[in-house]
Amino acid sequence: MYIVETYFLAIAFSFITMLCWGSWGNTQKLASKKWRYELFYWDYVIGIVLFSLVVAFTMGSFGSEGRPFLVDLQQVDGKLVRSVLLGGVVFNASNILLSASVSLAGLAVAFPLGVGLALVFGVLNNYLLAPKGDPLVLFLGVLLIVMAIIFNGVASAKRKQGVKSGSNKKGIVLAILAGVLMSFFYRFVAVAMDLENFNNPTPGMMTPYTATVIFSIGILLSNLIFNTLIMKRPFVGEPVTYKQYFSGNFSTHLVGVFGGAIWCLGTAFSYIAAGEAGPAISYGLGQGAPMIAAIWGVFIWKEFKGAASVTHWLLSMMFIFYVAGLALIIISGGN
């Protein structure tokens, strides 16, 4: 299997994670023109599962290092399988809330707030699990991310975009709930991997490729419950049915599957990078995704078009603090 063996390459993988995690939401925006997010989300989950298998049978199976995917899968401890499945369930609950928030409050608001909170709490959780990096520099970077979240929150309150006040407030609440939940999923997965030795993992523990597949199955199984409930009792709009889902055309379904594949690529790369960089740093850099999502939301989707000049100043400060915070998180791992 393929293994990252240098800190520089682990950082590069984590940046790809950040790009993927911050960009998959564009597929939801594209599909939302004629497709409810509850229906989109099924295609998204299917894309995650399919792409996790693609990665497992390619990068996770070729080469002479580590255990190939199928060999690794056969020896995994049942308790660790349950831990990773639980990580998938927790992530899915948080991500459904985040998707609902995107549909209500927009990409530039939901991602920086929800995923930003997940970064803050998640870095702390994962650092306690495997303390790699200078804690002072690491958490100073996290503090700057908190400041970026505050700037984004104030900007979202001031924007004038024709968004209904009630919908925007509900979207913000959902983003906060999503962020708190999302901060916990990574730890359930990281604890099942031998982060100190991907070349020869401890018997019973799993490689990042096996973890990605089991994690995606946890997402799929929980989606049968979570998304079915949301379809019947949506946060906004009328209920939707599986009949509507199966009546969607191929290109619409493909957009959602592509979104899931983008997200899964980022997740797999984050787990692969965790062995060299540590879970706190690989997760923390990946959760720089809100900055990427905000760039899409501001410059491509024009979600703040017509906003007052002070709003643009607040967004500029958000970007500056996010970049500075991410830079410190990178530096912390080199100390």
Neighbours of 209 (CB within 10 A): 30
- Summarised one tens digit per residue, pLDDT across range 290-335 is 778 778 888 888 877 777 888 889 989 988 998 899 889 889 986 5
pLDDT at 3 exceeding the cut of 90: yes
**pTM as predicted:** 0.86
How far apart, in whole angstroms, are the C-alpha atoms of residue 73 and residue 95? 26
Average pLDDT over residues 214-223: 98
Could you give the CA distance from residue 44 to residue 259 in angstroms, rounded to a whole number?
6
Kindly tell me if the per-residue pLDDT of 194 is higher than 70: yes
Predicted confidence (pLDDT) at residue 250 exceeds the cutoff of 80: yes
> Residue 162 — pLDDT band, cuts 50, 70, 90?
very low
Q: Which has the minimum average pLDDT: 97-106, 179-188, 190-199, 238-247?
A: 97-106
Domains of the chain by residue range: 9-332
Cα distances (angstroms) measured from residue 94 to each of 115, 175, 176: 10, 9, 10
Q: Three-class SS string for the chain?
A: CCCCCCHHHHHHHHHHHHHHHHHCHHHHHHHCCCCCHHHHHHHHHHHHHHHHHHHHHCCCCCCCCCCCHHHHHHHCCHHHHHHHHHHHHHHHHHHHHHHHHHHHHCHHHHHHHHHHHHHHHHHHHHHHHCCCCCHHHHHHHHHHHHHHHHHHHHHHHHCCCCCCHHHHHHHHHHHHHHHHHHHHHHHHHHCCECCCCCCCCCCCCECHHHHHHHHHHHHHHHHHHHHHHHHHCCCCCCCCCHHHHHCCCHHHHHHHHHHHHHHHHHHHHHHHHHHHHCHHHHHHHHCCHHHHHHHHHHHHCCCCCCCCHHHHHHHHHHHHHHHHHHHHHHHHCCC
User: Is residue 238 pLDDT above 50, yes or no?
Assistant: yes
Q: Backbone phi, then psi, for 207, in 5-degree steps?
A: -80, 165
Tokens of 69: 């995917």
Q: Note the pLDDT of residue 159.
A: 63
State the Cα angle at 270 between 40 and 14, rounded to 5°.
105
Whether residue 155 is predicted with pLDDT greater than 90 in this model: the reply is no
Most confident segment among 144-153, 164-173, 313-322: 313-322
User: Which of residues 113 and 266 earns the better pLDDT score?
Assistant: 266
Mean pLDDT across the stretch 32-49? Answer: 91
Residue 32 pLDDT exceeds 90 = no
12, pLDDT greater than 90: yes
Q: What is the mean pLDDT of residues 76-98?
A: 95
Query: Can you say how many angstroms the Cα of residue 159 is from the centroid of all Cα atoms in its chain?
Result: 25
Asked whether the beta carbons of 95 and 178 are under 8 A apart, the reply is yes
* Rounded-to-integer distance, Cα 7 and Cα 26, Å: 30
Q: Is the pLDDT of residue 39 over 90?
A: yes
130 vs 280: CA distance, rounded Å: 7
